[in-house]
Amino acid sequence: MSRFRPGRVLGISVGTLVILMIGVYGPATLLGPLPSATVTVTAPTSAVPASTPVLPAAGSSGLLAVTAVDDTATDDTATGGDAAEPAPATLGVDTIAIGGGNDPVPMASAAKIITALVVLDAKPLAAGEPGPAYSLVTADYQDYLDYTAQDARTVIVFPGESWTEREMLQAMILGSSNNHADTLARWAFGSVEAYLTAANAWLAANGMPNTTVVDANGLLDGSAGTGTDLARVAGLAATNPVIADIIAQPASALVGQRGVRNTTEYLPEEGITGISRSYTDSGGVCFLFTGTVVAGEKAFTFAGAFLGEPDYDTLTADLTALMASARAGVTELPILAEGDGYATLTTAWGDSADAVVATPKTRFGWQAAAGTDPVVTLDDVTTGRAGAKIGRVTVDAFGESVSSTLELDTSLTDPGPGWRLLHPVPVVSALVASW
């Protein structure tokens, strides 16, 4: 008859447990996955210093990037490293600089450029095409008489004569015709009041919340905005093919051989293309424009708005100073510089490596302010050799998304069996997380 021996049973149980632990613990720690490295996003050390634009102290002013032409950096996402296509002329989202006050101020005839954009949004027109014709009515002629009596800018009209959409736009943009602003508003929307409702909704929808229009031509002080908003209006006009074509090809005569003097041109020798230039007693001189800096085969264009300039001598001096600062500040910028680190990876066993830019990306432009925060996307990394591709970094530059691959600057090595056996918790946790 056998006797029950508790000690023997306990020994067998402990031995079995030890065998099981050795059979499971060893493979789990020695062969299981390692925990991913922790990631700390960092700022690059070779940031390009800003070059401050010279803007008026009075009134309200703003500059907005319009176009960045030519891309000499290779796109490392292309097979075989093919060169990227040049960036098209587009309106950017990067505000270069803001000057003067932040409160809305009267915009004078800059309101007519809003009228042109809103009308073209409702009545699209191809560049160079005349568009539909409109027979002027008594109200259009009366507007001409009333504005002429107020000594406001007009282009003569007569009841019953026919004007195409393009001709009306030419008279309003080039001749700063106040009567044609009202005519276009009525023609496109049925009434000036209906136009104003549409125009203010358009301003809000297009990112200009601090600008309001109460008339189609800007003679009323209630049509007011900020330099930042009106710089965006200038940029939208400059990239609108119809408006850009009208400004580039000033008409010497319209209906009935009526001459229209171009009121927009100002300081073209400085690289400035005028879009709207006007003066009112309360608003002072208001000027919407683009400025272009050319270096070799590259060009950078920005849109600008100067509101509330006291006189034309001051406008000339301020524009000359601005363009001098632009020529000094526009250059080839290392948007993503080779070797710049955007993240640090640290392993549980103490190895560390930086995620650095593999392929440099440059843009010809004006670094007048700090850029947007970079977006860093990384793979889960445990180990890897130096140069291994582990993710991407993306930044916005002059309204364009610029991206490059990130790679390890040094190797992250396997910690070896000793560390694995002595650190079961992170290893087993990684194993569980992989299931």
Both tokens of 87, joined, read 């960036």
- CA dist 140 and 145 (Å) reads 9
Residue 69 has pLDDT above 50, yes or no: no
Residue 83 has pLDDT above 60, yes or no: no
- CA dist 224 and 218 (Å) reads 8
Both tokens of 232, joined, read 């965006």
Both tokens of 155, joined, read 């282009």
Question: For the residues 98-106, what does the mean pLDDT come to?
Answer: 94
359-391: pLDDT as tens digits: 999 888 887 655 667 899 999 999 999 999 999
Question: For the residues 124-131, what does the mean pLDDT come to?
Answer: 94
Identity of the residue numbered 236: L
Residue 84 has pLDDT above 90, yes or no: no
- CA dist 115 and 181 (Å) reads 7
The better pLDDT of the pair 102, 409 is held by: 409
* CB contact set of 142 (below 8 Å; sequence gap of 6+): none
Paired sense of beta strands 361-366 and 352-357, if any: unpaired
pTM: 0.77
235-246: pLDDT as tens digits: 999 999 999 999
338-349: pLDDT as tens digits: 999 999 999 999
pLDDT-based confidence at residue 296 (cuts at 50, 70, 90)? confident
pLDDT-based confidence at residue 71 (cuts at 50, 70, 90)? very low
Q: How many CB atoms lie within 10 A of CB 435?
A: 4
Please give the pLDDT value at position 33: 84
Question: For the residues 84-91, what does the mean pLDDT come to?
Answer: 44
Domains of the chain plus CATH, in order, are: 38-46+337-434 (no CATH), 60-70+89-331 (3.40.710.10)
Please give the pLDDT value at position 363: 85
Please give the pLDDT value at position 276: 98
CA 283 to the chain's CA centroid: 28
Contact 97, 340 (CB under 8 A): no
Lowest mean pLDDT among 51-65, 86-100, 142-156, 185-199: 86-100
